[in-house]
Amino acid sequence: MTEHAFSPLIIKGRTLLPIVQGGMGVGVSAHRLAGAVAKEGGVGTIASVDLRHLHADLVEESAKFTEAADYDRLNLIALDREVKAALDIAQGHGMVSVNVMKAVDSHAAYVRQACESGAQAITMGAGLPLDLPEMVQGYPDVALLPILSESRGIGIVIKRWMKKNRLPDAIVIEHPKYAGGHLGAAKKEDIDNDRFEFKRVLDETFELFKTLGLEREKIPLIVAGGVNSYEKVKTYLGWGAAGVQVGTAFAVTHEGDAHPNFKKVLADAKPEDIVEFMSVAGLPARGVMTPFLKSYLKRESILQANAKADPKRCTQGLDCLSVCGLRDGLSKVGQFCIDLKLSSAFRGEVSKGLFFRGSESLPFGHAIRSARELIDYLLTGVKPANLAA
C-alpha cells in the first residue's frame, strides 16, 4: 500500500486506500485495471456492460445470434471470467467491485453473476438502486455501494434499505458537472445546480445520518467527479468524505483495458473538445467531440424529429437498456446505439466511437502512466520524476 497521511477507507471490515476506481464501460475498466488498483490496496471496479468484447471466442459466438438472451448469456460468461481474473491479479489485496447500471435491462442477472463469481462489492448507479439488497440475497459478505448525486436520493435509498434491515456499505456521491459518461441529472440544464456540490451533499447527508440515528462513520461517503489532484483529495477528505472515486485518469493508465487509441483520445482532449449531450438512456452524458459525435450532434434534431418506437431500430439487437431513445422512439434523447458506439471506442475506432470522459484535466497531462503512479500522486502529491508518455 502507498504510504500516505489520510485515514483508510473501511468497507465491510476491509481496510483500504481511500481510492476507488470508477466503473467504465464498454470494456474500459475490466480485469487488468480493476485487478491492478485492488492489488495496490484500493477499490478496483469492473464495468459489467457487454464484456464479451474482451473475449475473441465470445465475439465470434455472438455473431451467430440475434436474440438479446443470447448476448446476455455470453456477457455473463465474460463477467465471470473478468471477476476471477481481477481477483487473481489482486492477490487478496484491496477490493474488487463490479459496477452494474440500473438502467440496463438485465441488471439483476449481472448482480447475481458478479456475486457468484466472487466479486467483493457491487456499485450501482444510473437509477435508484432501491432493490439492490434483494438481488444479493445469499451473499451477505458482498458490499453494496449505491451511486447517487444528491442528498435527497441518498435519503430515499437509505430509508428504503433500512426497512429491509440493510444499509449501504458506502455511498458514492457523483457530481454531474465533472463526471464522465452518464450523468446523475435529469437534464443538461441541471448539471450546474448547486444541490450537487460536494460540500453541500456531504453536510446534508451527515445531517440526514443524525436524523436517522446513524453514526457518521457507519456509511463511508466517497466523492466522484473531477478528482484529478492531491489537493482535491485533501480538500474532500477534509470535508468529511472517506474516499474519492476516479474514472478518466485511471482509464488512461497502462493497465486500462481499452485500446491505446482510446487512451490517446481521452488524454489529448482539450477543454473545448469535451461536451454534454443527451444519451439514449434518457440521461445527459459527457464525452469527447470525435468525428462520430460531431456528425451526430449536427443531425440530432432531424433524428429526434423522426424518432419512432421500433425494436428493429436497435442496431445491435441487444435490447440492452430498459429505456432507449433509439428503440423506444423517445424524441428528446439520443438516437444512436450506445453499445455499438462504446464498443467501437473500446477498440480504438476514433471515427466511429463514443468516448466518454470527465470534464477536468488529467493529473499527468497527455502522459500514459501506471495505476500505481496515479494512486501515489493522488495520496501524496508527488508526481513521477519523468512524465514522458
pLDDT digits (tens, 9 = 90+) for 130-148: 999 999 999 999 999 999 9
Q: What's the rounded Cα separation, in Å, for the pair 183 and 287?
A: 11
CATH dotted code for 9-266+360-380: 3.20.20.70
Residues 43-57: pLDDT tens digits?
999 999 889 989 999
178 neighbors 228 (Cβ within 8 angstroms) = no
Tell me the residue ranges of DSSP E strands in 149-234: 171-174, 181-182, 221-224
Distance separating alpha carbons of residues 172 and 170, to the nearest angstrom: 7
Lowest mean pLDDT among 70-74, 94-98, 161-165: 70-74
In whole angstroms, give the CA distance from residue 68 to residue 16. 38
The residue-averaged pLDDT of 235-240 equals 98
Could you give the 3-state DSSP secondary structure of residue 145? strand
Question: How many Cβ atoms from other residues are within 10 Å of residue 57's Cβ?
Answer: 11
CB 321 within 8 Å of CB 126: no
Q: Check residues 25 and 6 and name the one with the higher pLDDT.
A: 6
Rounded (10°) angle between helices 31-39 and 68-90: 30
Q: What is the DSSP string of 263-326?
A: HHHHHH--GGGEEEEE-TTSSEEEEE--HHHHHHHHHHHHHHHT----GGG-TTS---BSS-HH
* CB neighbour list of residue 69: distance below 8 Å, 6 or more residues apart: none
Q: CB neighbours of 77 closer than 8 A, spacing ≥ 6?
A: 52, 55, 58
Lookup: cell for 165: 434491515
Least confident of 92-106, 160-174, 217-231, 324-338: 324-338
Q: Where are the beta strands (DSSP E) in the chain?
A: 9-11, 14-16, 19-21, 43-47, 95-101, 121-125, 143-148, 171-174, 181-182, 221-224, 243-246, 274-278, 284-288
Amino acid 387: pLDDT: 74
CB atoms within 10 A of CB 322: 17
Residue extents of the structural domains in the chain: 9-266+360-380, 270-346
The count of C-alpha atoms lying within 13 angstroms of the C-alpha of 315, restricted to the half-sphere facing its C-beta, is: 12
304-329 mean pLDDT = 76
Residue at 211: amino acid letter: T
Q: pLDDT tens digits, residue range 356-383?
A: 999 999 999 999 999 999 999 999 999 9
Amino acid letter for position 260: P
pLDDT score of 315: 64
- Is residue 143 classed as helix, strand or coil in its secondary structure? strand
Percent of the chain with pLDDT over 90: 74
Percentage of the chain exceeding pLDDT 70: 98
**Mean pLDDT, rounded, of the chain:** 92
Helix, strand, coil fractions of the chain, as percent rounded to 5: 40, 15, 45
Q: Would you say residue 389 has pLDDT above 60?
A: no
Q: Using CA atoms, how far apart are residues 95 and 125, in angstroms rounded to an integer?
A: 19
Give the torsion through C-alpha atoms of 183, 186, 191, 195, to 10 deg. -110
Angle at 108 between CA 102 and CA 109, to 5 degrees: 130
